[in-house]
Structure 1
Amino acid sequence: MQKKETITSLQQARGQRKLVMITAYDALFASLFEESADMILVGDSLNMSFLGEPDTLSATLDQMIYHTRAVCSGAPKSFVICDMPFGSTNTLDEALRNSVKVFQQTRADAVKIEGGIERAELVRHLCDNAIAVMGHVGLLPQSVRSEGGYKVQGRDEASFAQVIEDAKAIEAAGAFALVVEGVTSDLGAAVTEAVDIPVIGIGAGNATDGQVLVWSDMLGFFEAFKPRFVKRYLNGAELVKEAAAQYAKEVRDGLFPNDEHTYGK
């Protein structure tokens, strides 16, 4: 029986084994990922994958709680992290109230908070009140509109230094681990070297302590575009279309259902 990861085991993995994190939004896919993933992230990317939105900002707290409950049900032996959506952590009181709501209404093991130095006090406030926090620095999807798009960080000295300082601040505030997204490989390595907590990369090179991918990207279901950092391990969209076309043909040709798929007396 698979042993569930804990904050202690995840932190002890640093330098010993690479950590695997995959997003999931429902019980079915969570159950399929449970054997392979050390952590499952219920990402606010769900509204891009499921609702067809251009960014993550439309996800609500109630949506995140609903999907986190589903993932926890489907993968009870997985360490599950709930993304705190845009607008749910604007103040210390609001962040604590909403994080407590996540913990009370789901079996999530932690929440994820985007931001660097400017969010350190908030992260500390949550950690001081028994909320486990995973940080998120580098490219911040929730800031895509204010930043004018998705911009890789670390290509100039100022952003390179800023992301490192952000990572240090979030670690000092009590985060047990950190996601670093959309940075040069040199910066991904520098962030990993600068902190003592596990660093999970997405578009951050291979020197981090682990990797995370959005499941619909990883399995080739999302066709609109493919970021440079994504590797498709399955042509999911093509396989589903082929299966749906075969089903439709058999129905129209009167071949399905046949005797094998029909109840007798």
Structure 2
Amino acid sequence: MTLPDFRRRKAGNQRISFVTCYDCAFARLVAQTDLDCILVGDSVAMVVHGHPSTLAADLPMMLFHTESVARGAGGKFIVGDMPFLEHRKGQSEAVSAAQALLRAGAQAIKLEGAAGNLEIIQSLVEGGVPVMGHVGLTPQFIHAFGGFKVQGREDAAAERILADAKALEASGVFSIVLEGIPATLGKRITDALSIPTIGIGAGPDCDGQVLVLHDLLGFTEKPPKFARAFGEVASASVTALRAYDEAVKTNTFPTEKESYA
């Protein structure tokens, strides 16, 4: 994937597959597939580091994981998340953070929300930084929302999200993540934009989908409603760990074959 491919995919009604990934080992697995893109999400704070929200993901954390993914991604298109409030410290700080993410190996950055971000996004795009938008359930707004709640169920809220998506398109974003909104609203926004929408809990009519790798591999104990486990890697891992434990305690590992002469 390259940046121009996003519009071409939408024009040709070809779906775009994203997966959220946080390290080199998993990125190497993604590199062996036909998945289009990797999102290095600030959800790493929750999924990998055990925090209750994404707010704990700061710029050093995002750079560390972006660099790790880039080493194993095998040329996949990588989008790096802008951490909470990093771009609201000022224009200079926003540019510096975007520059650091691209130098770490991302080809684009993602910003949550529209209000207050449009001028920053336009400036970054004019400076050569591809920017992806994000509307609906934006996890960095967890305190404002009162938790991880579906957005856009009321008419006024739906119209506001649609207006935000249009404003983001006008500011120059190349694609928009739609998260945690009714499927009907996901379709309305997708039909209204000339840039692709990438859904996560936004219904089947988006131009693409993104899932957290740990959700789709079955690692998440209580996955969100919109996620599907396409494999049970977690249970297979537990089986392997138990077999290893038994082999150590029964002294059947290591064998002569697994030992040096």
Matched, 1:99 2:94: no
Select 2:257's aligned residue among 255, 260, 265. 260
**1:6, distance to aligned residue in structure 2 (A):** 0.4
Letter in 1 for 2:168: I
Cα offsets for 1:70-95 (capped at 9, x unmatched): 11110131000000111211132221
Select 2:8's aligned residue among 6, 12, 32. 12
Superposition CA RMSD, Å: 1.1
**1:160, distance to aligned residue in structure 2 (A):** 0.7
Q: Distance in 2 between matches of 1:203 and 1:261?
A: 47
| Residue in structure 2 matched with residue 118 of structure 1 by the alignment | 116
**1:197, distance to aligned residue in structure 2 (A):** 0.4
Q: Distance in 2 between matches of 1:38 and 1:117?
A: 29
| Residue in structure 2 matched with residue 38 of structure 1 by the alignment | 36
| Residue in structure 1 matched with residue 213 of structure 2 by the alignment | 215
Equivalent pair of 2:197/2:206 in contact (CA under 8 Å)? yes
Equivalent pair of 2:13/2:207 in contact (CA under 8 Å)? no
Matched residue of 2:110: which SS? strand
1:120-139 counterparts in 2 under 5 A?
A: 120-139=118-137
Equivalent pair of 1:19/1:209 in contact (CA under 8 Å)? yes
Equivalent pair of 2:18/2:37 in contact (CA under 8 Å)? yes
| Residue in structure 1 matched with residue 190 of structure 2 by the alignment | 192
Cα offsets for 1:112-162 (capped at 9, x unmatched): 000024321221111111111011011000000122111211211011101
| Residue in structure 1 matched with residue 247 of structure 2 by the alignment | 250
Unaligned runs of 5+ in 1: none
TM-score by length of 1: 0.94
Matched residue of 2:29: which SS? helix
Equivalent pair of 2:125/2:172 in contact (CA under 8 Å)? yes
**1:9, distance to aligned residue in structure 2 (A):** 1.2
Single out whichever of 85-94 and 131-140 deviates more from structure 2.
Answer: 85-94
Q: Distance in 2 between matches of 1:147 and 1:95?
A: 24
Q: Distance in 2 between matches of 1:108 and 1:226?
A: 27
| Residue in structure 1 matched with residue 140 of structure 2 by the alignment | 142
The count of aligned residue pairs is 258
| Residue in structure 2 matched with residue 56 of structure 1 by the alignment | 54
Q: Distance in 2 between matches of 1:231 and 1:260?
A: 40
Equivalent pair of 1:117/1:169 in contact (CA under 8 Å)? no
Matched residue of 2:80: which SS? strand
TM-score by length of 2: 0.96
Q: Distance in 2 between matches of 1:118 and 1:190?
A: 24
| Residue in structure 1 matched with residue 231 of structure 2 by the alignment | 234
Cα offsets for 1:4-63 (capped at 9, x unmatched): x10111220114311000011111101111223111000001111111111100011011
Q: Distance in 2 between matches of 1:237 and 1:102?
A: 30
Q: Distance in 2 between matches of 1:76 and 1:69?
A: 13
Q: Distance in 2 between matches of 1:107 and 1:97?
A: 15
Letter in 2 for 1:9: D
Q: Distance in 1 between matches of 2:79 and 2:72?
A: 14
Letter in 1 for 2:120: L
Q: Distance in 2 between matches of 1:236 and 1:103?
A: 31
Letter in 2 for 1:65: L
Matched residue of 1:118: which SS? coil
**1:249, distance to aligned residue in structure 2 (A):** 0.4
Q: Distance in 1 between matches of 2:115 and 2:163?
A: 7
